[in-house]
Amino acid sequence: MARYSRTEGTIALITLSNPPVNALGAAVRRTITDIMHRALTDGEVKAVVLCGENGTFCAGADIREFGKPPSGPALVPLIHDMEASEKPVVAAIEGVALGGGLEIALGCHYRIAHAKARLGFPEVMLGLIPGAGGSQRLPRLIGIPAALELITTGRLVSAQEALKLGIVDQVVDGNTIETAVKFALNVIGVCRPLLSRRLSERTPAFSVDAAAVLEEGMARVKQRARGAFAPVVCVQALRAAATLPYSRGMETEEQLINMLIDSSQARALQYCFFAQRNARKWSLPSGARWNNSKPRAVHRVGVVGLGTMGRGITVSLVKAGISVVAVEMEEKQMDLGMRAVLGMLERDAQRRGDTRPPTHLLTFTLSLQQLGNVDLVIEAVFEDMALKKRLFTELCNVCKPSTLLCTNTSGLDVDALAVVTHRRSLVVGMHFFAPANVMKLLEVVCGPHSSAEAVATAMTLGKRLGKVGVVVGNCPGFVGNRMMKLYLDQAYFLLEEGAAPEQVDQVLEEFGFTMGIFKVSDLSGLDVGWRVRKASGLIGPDVNPKTPSRWRQGCRYSPLPDLLCEQGHLGQKSGRGWYLYETPGGKEPKPDPAMHRFLQEYRSRYGLTPRHVHAHEVIERCTYAMANEGFRILEEGIAARAEDIDVIYVFGYGWPRHRGGPMFHAAQVGLATVLQRLEHYHQLHPDVPHLQPSPLLQRLVEAGSPPVHHWREHVQHLHSHL
């Protein structure tokens, strides 16, 4: 938990020891409090060095303890005693000093950091503020503007930046603990009393400027927070630091953290923290798992198709230091793609202050033959099954037998592609999200033939690219797009019933979505879904002409997006979609009076009486329809855990992190309520079978609505699932 030793005769060395990240669980706090007391009262000890085991100082509070009844000593008195001591206390920071870990370091009189260390207050990402004096000490050390930026964003800084800001006193390349011990020996008796080193004794300069900075900060945070409380509360804590004496600031900090600690948002954000990490722990029905499956080495990757997705994937790979052979079929496309990729890499290098983008890793070619010695291919051609099948057949002939063949399809049958190859076990889906060099999510789609090695390789490659990989099963749309379809359906139906696109979007954005669904649709292009609906036979020559326009495959269907596509209203690219844009390619959506007229005419053509659609109905129908499909996905084993579904929505679809994800949100609302509301909406819309509560949801409610982590126990036939 924490070890005590003596070095150089007079120095007490306290080593935090709680693998893997030395989190400050109750037992650690107890031990460190006891041994710090021993060091501070031992007459032979003249200075203390505080460090962490295994190259990590401390990642802060043990997040697993939040939400549980408090136990063990608090951090604040320990930090006060340390800071008040007349013996110099030096923090030797290796690895990370985060949250409570940095708060302890700020209570030390000196801080020495290793060159590779990172420091910061990520509490805001957990729905909290730095609650053990961090919000009061940091601004006293580095000033209000810098502290405001770090605390409200949770951004971590490198040791070098920490030195520039004044958070640490020295950065070392060599042995941090030895340097800290030498440093401690040197400062014994030098700075007496240690008054100037005690941050609580300092007054942050509260100038008119600081007042303006706080005001601007509050406005910025409110605009970006999308309904999240913690960033706003961070600004309130900093205002206290700037305007109140330290002791009163600490009282305010305590009140503020107590307000947040049990909030539903903090729960959701902490759930997301672990969900993201658990997503890495995949398993297959064969018993193969993340920790018993060896990935293949990937040095060289082929990317086929240099459209929007292929370009983003290529940039991601090159940025991760991986050689790429990028193949296009047509010269003009190749040229456009090449210029776009080089431009993106150039801009990225400029942003990072690098003069040279890593273009030496790139080969552009019109010939598939050049893929002979790549370790893995990512196919990113058009969403056309026949084209993809032809390509996979050819790739089999061109690539070496051990090459993994991955498809970036956003919803087509991965298994249908595997069966045209002679290496079914080496075929998996790697579904990136646009723009692929920015978006974090990667769905790794595992077909019935995909080997553990192929899944492990795709997941490991995803991690190298900085993606959050989630293993999912193979079904139309996989997890993300399968649920998205029902979300979109509900949004179209709401328009039919009386809502306007901007009204639906506003409600969704107030809920916290990055962008309303109609803005998203305009951004990605309405033709994307149009093509999918054509391919799946919902529209086109195969539809019996006698089928009513608002009826397909036995259920209610909205032809609204098809009608817009027929008129050439494809979204941003055509200057008109659900919204109006100033020019084709314009980015600023404006409500479109022509759209309102179009909706009126549409409703009267089909005898639909418009009504006022309440905000709560928009949220309930969109989010509960998604969660209901999520329960079906769990039952079918397409996702292994509800957490995986939530990770997909948070990282790929702009779902507000502070609401956890659609499944966690359903749990927070209460499964019985969700069930009852779905029953209500299904009664009103019996022609929408997807609103009928799923059997798993019903069983969970009958079982007393267990917490999310226990849902899997209620899935039937688990042996056949992910």
Ligand X SMILES: CC(C)(COP(=O)(O)OP(=O)(O)OC[C@H]1O[C@@H](n2cnc3c(N)ncnc32)[C@H](O)[C@@H]1OP(=O)(O)O)[C@@H](O)C(=O)NCCC(=O)NCCSC(=O)/C=C/CCCCCCCCCCCCC(=O)O
Distance CA 85, CA 42 (A): 12
Per CB under 6 A, the segment of 68-76, 511-519, 650-658, 680-688 that binds ligand X is 68-76
- Contact pick of 14, 91, 97, 100 for ligand X (by CB under 6 A): 100
Per CB under 6 A, the segment of 121-129, 293-301, 410-418, 506-514 that binds ligand X is 121-129
Going 142 to 144 to 149 to 150, the CA torsion angle's sign is positive
643 binds ligand X (CB under 6 A): no
Q: Closer to ligand X by CB, 374 or 456: give it.
A: 456
508 binds ligand X (CB under 6 A): no
Cis peptide bond N-terminal to 689, omega within 30: no
User: What's phi and psi for 655, nearest 5 deg?
Assistant: -65, 135
96 binds ligand X (CB under 6 A): yes
Distance CA 158, CA 598 (A): 54
Q: Closer to ligand X by CB, 229 or 493: give it.
A: 229
138 binds ligand X (CB under 6 A): no
124 binds ligand X (CB under 6 A): no
User: H or E stretch including 568?
Assistant: none
* Minimum distance from residue 411 beta carbon to ligand X (Å): 30
357 binds ligand X (CB under 6 A): no
Number of chain positions touching ligand X (CB under 6 A): 29
Max CA pair span of the chain: 95
Q: At what angle do helices 480-497 and 501-511 cross, to 10 degrees?
A: 130
Q: How does DSSP classify residue 356? A: S
Structure tokens at 708: 């999310």
Question: Which among 166, 144, 102, 100 has a CA at the least distance from the CA of 234?
Answer: 144
The verdict on whether 328 is a catalytic residue reads: no
59 binds ligand X (CB under 6 A): yes
* Minimum distance from residue 123 beta carbon to ligand X (Å): 5
518 binds ligand X (CB under 6 A): no
77 binds ligand X (CB under 6 A): no
* Minimum distance from residue 45 beta carbon to ligand X (Å): 24
Q: Is 404 exposed, middle or buried (0-12, 13-18, 19+ CB in 10 A)?
A: buried
Structure tokens at 311: 């370009």
Q: Closer to ligand X by CB, 100 or 295: give it.
A: 100
Per CB under 6 A, the segment of 15-23, 317-325, 438-446, 459-467 that binds ligand X is 15-23
- Contact pick of 12, 28, 92, 126 for ligand X (by CB under 6 A): 126
The verdict on whether 394 is a catalytic residue reads: no
Distance CA 242, CA 246 (A): 9
Per CB under 6 A, the segment of 66-74, 475-483, 525-533, 714-722 that binds ligand X is 66-74
Q: Closer to ligand X by CB, 131 or 525: give it.
A: 131
19 binds ligand X (CB under 6 A): no
β strands within 144-244, DSSP E: 157-158, 170-172
Q: At what angle do helices 625-636 and 642-652 cross, to 10 degrees?
A: 130
157 binds ligand X (CB under 6 A): no
259 binds ligand X (CB under 6 A): no
535 binds ligand X (CB under 6 A): no
Write 666-669 long-range contacts (CB < 8 A, 24+): 666/623, 666/624, 666/627, 666/630, 667/642, 667/705, 667/707, 667/708, 668/264, 668/267, 668/268
Active-site residue, from 83, 123, 328, 629: 123
Q: Is 692 exposed, middle or buried (0-12, 13-18, 19+ CB in 10 A)?
A: middle
* Minimum distance from residue 62 beta carbon to ligand X (Å): 4
User: What's phi and psi for 574, nearest 5 deg?
Assistant: -100, 0
Site string for ligand X, 265-284 (x = CB under 6 A): ---------x--x-------
Please name the residues in contact with 368: beta carbons below 8 A apart, sequence gap of 6 or more.
304, 327, 394, 395, 398
Q: Closer to ligand X by CB, 96 or 500: give it.
A: 96
Cis peptide bond N-terminal to 285, omega within 30: no
- Contact pick of 55, 70, 245, 585 for ligand X (by CB under 6 A): 70
- Contact pick of 132, 167, 442, 700 for ligand X (by CB under 6 A): 132
- Contact pick of 48, 61, 418, 446 for ligand X (by CB under 6 A): 61
Distance CA 427, CA 407 (A): 8
Q: Closer to ligand X by CB, 74 or 563: give it.
A: 74
Q: Closer to ligand X by CB, 176 or 450: give it.
A: 176
Q: Closer to ligand X by CB, 118 or 690: give it.
A: 118
Q: Closer to ligand X by CB, 59 or 427: give it.
A: 59
Q: Provide the pairing of β-strand 427-432 with 441-446.
A: antiparallel
β strands within 305-370, DSSP E: 323-327, 362-365
Distance CA 694, CA 284 (A): 24
- Contact pick of 60, 88, 337, 660 for ligand X (by CB under 6 A): 60
* Minimum distance from residue 446 beta carbon to ligand X (Å): 21
Q: Closer to ligand X by CB, 6 or 37: give it.
A: 37
Question: Which among 175, 58, 172 has a CA at the least distance from the CA of 115?
Answer: 172
Distance CA 130, CA 253 (A): 8
User: Which positions are catalytic?
Assistant: 103, 123
Binding residues for ligand X, per CB under 6 A? 20-21, 23, 59-66, 70, 74-76, 96, 98-100, 122-123, 126, 128, 131-132, 257, 261, 274, 277
